[in-house]
């Protein structure tokens, strides 16, 4: 089949890694694959080199920007329509909110036979003012009428979209966001050297967080949680894995709380280093204020590390309280801190949770399984 994927930018992130893995997998199966992406810049890192070396056709579309810019967006729609009309693909598959709007409209303009869109995380969410949520939901409803299939990475995304009147139930299919699970083999990694580099001793408990240092990733809540948890369990140490525009503001907040000596900021790390880093922590704390299905949680569980998260969006689909980790209601900072302190004090429970989490995630999040299911959706419509 001739397949085109469209995404706004190729930063180091879950939606982007998912898309690149899908393109690689489909290319390996003999399909003709194109990936169109917009400009990629910022402190989050880039997957451009990997996309360029993937063996499939990769093209950057200058007009495909993340921000809402009506004139630029109109030019992007026209540019994509021209490319679709020339390539005559069997499938156009869009990812992320902005590319999903512009890409689906352009594909419908070009009369592409099968148009799919993946919801990696809702474009409208609890962190936005209601006029923005309403406008984005209206755009999603409009575009859902102009595509054939909607893929979600979590059942929660399907439920939220349908509750907002987006599309019809039969359009939706849950396909877990795949990753190379063989890379996340805890038996391959030695954690002591990494912990020593961080200054974390063998009897201390390392709580890791993997997220951009950016608003809505929950660092405001996390800093308060860290303060409360450390008072209950003095052995706790914290590791922030990632970088972002708000780093200076968060570093200042850590100083005000007296948490600087207790916290290591690794900065941006390439994806290849993530398994070794996760091998060196004891617990993952995920405080994002909105999410699709948290990829960092899955990766931690694959490394046999239990997770604590707010019970929002797709998190409860992988964090099962009493089995693979613990959940706190959104905004319950005391509950979250208590869960961290409790897990820190119980090595046997951490081990049991981690082992159960790895078993739960191994098959369901394998990238081969993801490509199998996506390819089946393409063929299902072609028939």
Q: Are strands 172-174 and 236-241 parallel, antiparallel or unpaired?
A: unpaired
CB-based burial, 207-224: b 16+ in 10 Å, e otherwise: bbbbbbbbebbbbbbbbb
pLDDT for the residue 43:
67
Q: Say whether pTM exceeds 0.85.
A: yes
Tally DSSP H helices, then E strands, for the chain: 14, 13
Instruction: Give dist(CA 319, CA 259) in Å, integer.
Output: 27
Helix segments in the chain, DSSP class H:
14-28, 48-52, 70-87, 97-109, 130-144, 155-163, 192-198, 219-232, 247-257, 274-279, 295-302, 333-344, 347-364, 367-382
**What φ, ψ does residue 310 adopt, rounded to 5°?**
-70, 145
Kindly state the tokens that stand for 222. Answer: 């996390």
Residue 129 burial by Cβ neighbours in a 10 Å radius (0-12, 13-18, 19+): exposed
Helix, strand, coil abundance in the chain, percent, nearest 5: 50, 20, 35
Instruction: Give dist(CA 272, CA 367) in Å, integer.
Output: 16
Collapse the DSSP code of 299 into the 3-class scheme (helix H, G, I; strand E, B; otherwise coil) and give the result.
Answer: helix
Contact between 357 and 304 under an 8 Å Cβ cutoff? The reply is yes
Domains and CATH numbers, the chain: 2-178+366-382 (3.40.50.2000), 181-364 (3.40.50.2000)
Collapse the DSSP code of 41 into the 3-class scheme (helix H, G, I; strand E, B; otherwise coil) and give the result.
Answer: coil
**What φ, ψ does residue 293 adopt, rounded to 5°?**
-125, 120
Instruction: Give dist(CA 256, CA 248) in Å, integer.
Output: 13
pLDDT for the residue 264:
97
Contact between 76 and 63 under an 8 Å Cβ cutoff? The reply is yes
Instruction: Give dist(CA 261, CA 199) in Å, integer.
Output: 10
Task: Dihedral sign for Cα 199, 309, 19, 9, please.
Answer: negative
Residue 263 burial by Cβ neighbours in a 10 Å radius (0-12, 13-18, 19+): buried
HSE of 233 in the Cβ direction (CA atoms, 13 Å)? 22
Instruction: Give dist(CA 308, CA 306) in Å, integer.
Output: 7
**What interhelical angle do 295-302 and 347-364 show, nearest 10?**
110
**What φ, ψ does residue 258 adopt, rounded to 5°?**
70, 30
Instruction: Give dist(CA 65, CA 3) in Å, integer.
Output: 22
Which residue stretches of the chain have pLDDT < 70? 42-44, 382-383
CA distances from 221 to 145, 225, 254, 284 (A): 38, 6, 12, 15
């Amino acid at each position: 089949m001739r397949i085109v994927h469209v995404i706004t930018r190729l930063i180091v992130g879950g939606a982007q890694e998912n898309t690149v893995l899908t393109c690689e997998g489909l290319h390996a199966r003999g399909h003709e694959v194109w990936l169109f992406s917009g400009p990629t810049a910022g402190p989050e890192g880039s997957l451009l080199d990997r996309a360029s070396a993937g063996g499939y056709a990769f093209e950057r579309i200058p007009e495909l920007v993340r921000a809402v810019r009506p004139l630029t967006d109109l030019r992007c729609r026209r540019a994509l329509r021209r490319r679709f009309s020339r390539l005559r693909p069997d499938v156009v598959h869009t990812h992320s909110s902005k590319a999903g709007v512009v890409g689906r409209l352009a594909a419908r303009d070009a009369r592409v036979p099968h148009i799919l869109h993946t919801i990696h995380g809702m474009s409208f969410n609890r962190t936005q003012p209601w006029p923005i949520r309403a406008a984005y939901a209206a755009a999603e409803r409009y575009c859902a009428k102009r595509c054939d299939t909607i893929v979600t990475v979590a059942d929660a995304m399907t439920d939220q979209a349908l509750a907002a009147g987006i599309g019809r139930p039969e359009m939706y299919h849950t396909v877990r966001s795949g990753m190379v699970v063989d890379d996340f083999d805890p038996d391959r990694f030695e954690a002591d050297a990494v912990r020593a580099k961080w200054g974390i001793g063998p009897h201390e408990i390392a709580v890791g967080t993997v997220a951009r240092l950016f608003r809505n990733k929950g660092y405001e809540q996390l800093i308060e949680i860290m303060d409360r948890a450390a008072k209950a369990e003095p052995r706790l140490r914290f590791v922030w894995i990632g970088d972002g525009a708000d780093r200076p503001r968060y570093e200042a907040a850590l100083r005000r709380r007296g948490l600087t000596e207790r916290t290591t900021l690794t900065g941006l790390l390439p994806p290849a280093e993530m398994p070794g880093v996760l091998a060196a922590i004891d617990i993952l704390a995920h405080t994002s204020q909105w999410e699709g299905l948290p990829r960092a949680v899955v990766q931690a569980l694959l490394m046999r590390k239990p997770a604590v998260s707010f019970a929002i969006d797709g998190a409860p689909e992988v964090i099962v309280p009493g089995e693979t980790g613990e959940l706190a209601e959104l905004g319950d900072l005391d509950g979250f801190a208590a869960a961290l302190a409790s897990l820190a004090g119980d090595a046997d429970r951490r081990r049991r949770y981690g082992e159960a989490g790895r078993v739960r995630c191994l098959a369901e999040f394998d990238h081969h399984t993801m490509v199998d299911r996506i390819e089946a959706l393409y063929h299902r419509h072609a028939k």
